[in-house]
Amino acid sequence: MDVSIIGASGYSGAELIRILLHHPHVRIQRVFANSSAGKRVDEVYGQFRGQTDLVYERYSAEHVPDSDLIFVALPSGEAMHVVPGLLKLKKRVIDLGGDFRLKDIHAYQKYYKREHVSAEVVECAAYGLPEWNQPEIRKAQLVANPGCYATSAILPLIPVVKEGIVEEHGIVISSLSGVSGAGRSASIDYSFTEVNESVRAYKVAEHQHTPEIESGISGHAGRTVQVTFVPHLIPITRGIYSSIYARLKRTIDQDELASLYGKYYSGSPFVRFDPSRIPEIKNANYTNFCDIGFRIDEANKTLILLSVIDNLVKGAAGQAVQNMNIMLGFRETEGLL
- Give 316's DSSP letter: I
Give the contacts of 321 (CB within 8 A, at least 6 positions apart): 16, 19, 20, 23, 288, 335, 336
User: 309 φ, ψ to 5°?
Assistant: -145, 165
In this structure, which amino acid lies at residue 115?
A: E
CB atoms within 10 A of CB 189: 11
- Give 205's DSSP letter: T
Q: 193 in helix, strand or coil?
A: helix
Q: Measuring CA to CA, which residue among 214, 181, 185, 12 is closest to residue 111?
A: 214
CA 30, CA 91: separation in Å to the nearest integer? Answer: 15
In this structure, which amino acid lies at residue 241?
A: Y
CA–CA–CA angle 145, 19, 83 (5° rounding): 35
Catalytic residue annotation:
148
Q: Where are the beta strands (DSSP E) in 7-76?
A: 27-32, 56-57, 69-72
| Number of H-type helices and E-type strands within the chain | 12, 14
User: 242 φ, ψ to 5°?
Assistant: -110, 125
